[in-house]
Structure 1
Amino acid sequence: METTRLDFYKSSPAAMKAMHGLEQHIAKSSVEKPLAELVRLRASQINGCAFCVDMHYADARKGGETERRLAAVTVWRETPFFSDRERAALEWTESLTLVAQTRVPDDVWNRVKPHFTPEEITDLSLLIGAINTWNRFSVGFRKMPV
């Protein structure tokens, strides 16, 4: 098992304060909490962030999410467990998380747009950007689940 490279909370408290400010905005945003946790979990899976996968799986369970749906997040396309809105959000999450490869094609945009208002799409995109940043801190500095 790898050891933590550095404690980013201690090394730059101002940066972490800014990230927590962003999270406070996201918590009050138009994206419902259960969906936000699915998005955080899926981005963290893609990015291979063990700390964040562990945390958001646990947070989703505390919020009432089922084991079955959480286990199926990695294969959401192949299961009947997710609503059209959730599927659109998960696809948007994957496309934005992998933006260097996907370039967020029009067909993805055309599938997300009917399920979200402009404000919701903006808030969802901010959420995806934030979890990707947390993933980069945690993966880059080897933050481990406890």
Structure 2
Amino acid sequence: MEQRINFMEKGQGALKTLFGMGAYLKKSPIEAKLQHLVEFRVSQINGCAFCLDMHSKDARAHGETEQRLYALAAWRETPFFSDRERAALAWAEAVTACNVPDETFKRVKVFFTDEELIDLTLVVSSINTWNRFNIAFPNPAAVGTYQPGQFG
């Protein structure tokens, strides 16, 4: 597979908003470790190789364990995740599928304030957008080259 368009180079104007969202989310009360966990799970669902590489490395840099990353696709069947994390992962999967049942909303509201839930939804929306850019305009040579914290 060849790189179609270097969107990181050619799309600076278009990506300015995404970079701004990332800067906002760094200040969010949603802990970085949970944000990376959600970003990794959504990237698994979407099959985004670059983002899987990036967020696994950033998650580990923020204290995430290999065991939890390996088991993330089966988070419902493992004892490795807190109730708050489980609620966030269920929310991330539902928002990614564009199908958010009332039951999922009620469950996540137990663990997140309104403001946190808005930020969590922005984390999910942002990574879905990044996944789509990386899938539409893949750069296979970049997969595996990411260094933790490389983009800020």
**Rounded Cα–Cα distance in structure 2 between residues aligned with 1:87 and 1:74:** 12
Q: Which amino acid aligns with 1:50?
A: A
In the aligned structure 2, how far is the partner of 1:38 from the partner of 1:10? 27
5+ residue gaps in structure 2?
Answer: 146-152
Specify which structure has the higher proportion of helix: 1
Is 1:133 aligned to residue 129 of structure 2?
yes
TM value normalised by structure 1 = 0.94
**Cα deviation per residue 1:95-143 (whole Å; 9 max; x = unaligned)?**
00111xxx21111111111010000000000110000000000011113
Task: Supply the distance in 1 between the matched residues of 2:21 and 2:106 (Cα, whole angstroms).
Answer: 27
Q: How does 1:22-61 map to 2 (within 5 A)?
A: 22-61=21-60
1:19: Cα distance to partner?
Answer: 1.2
Gaps of 5+ in 1: none
The amino acid across from 1:107 in the alignment is E
| Shift of residue 89, structure 1, vs aligned partner | 0.2
Structure 1 runs of 4+ aligned residues shifted over 2 Å read: none
State the secondary structure of the residue aligned to 1:72.
helix
Task: For residue 75 of structure 1, report the CA deviation from its aligned partner.
Answer: 0.4
Query: Does residue 124 of structure 1 match 2:120?
Result: yes
Q: Size of the alignment, in residue pairs?
A: 142
Q: Which shows bigger deviation, 2-11 or 44-53?
A: 2-11
Shift of 1:60: 0.6
CA distance in 1, matches of 2:27, 2:51: 21
Looking at structure 2, the residues matched to 59 and 143 of structure 1 have their Cα atoms a distance apart, in angstroms, of 19
RMSD (CA atoms): 0.9
Q: Secondary structure at the match of 2:110?
A: helix
User: Which residue is equivalent to 1:18?
Assistant: 17
**Alignment partner, residue 106 of structure 1:** 102
d(CA) in 2 for partners of 1:129 and 1:96?
A: 8
Structure 2 residue identity aligned to 1:137: F
CA apart distance, 1:17: 2.1
Compute the displacement of 1:10 (Å).
2.0
Deviation at 1:9, TM superposition (A): 1.8
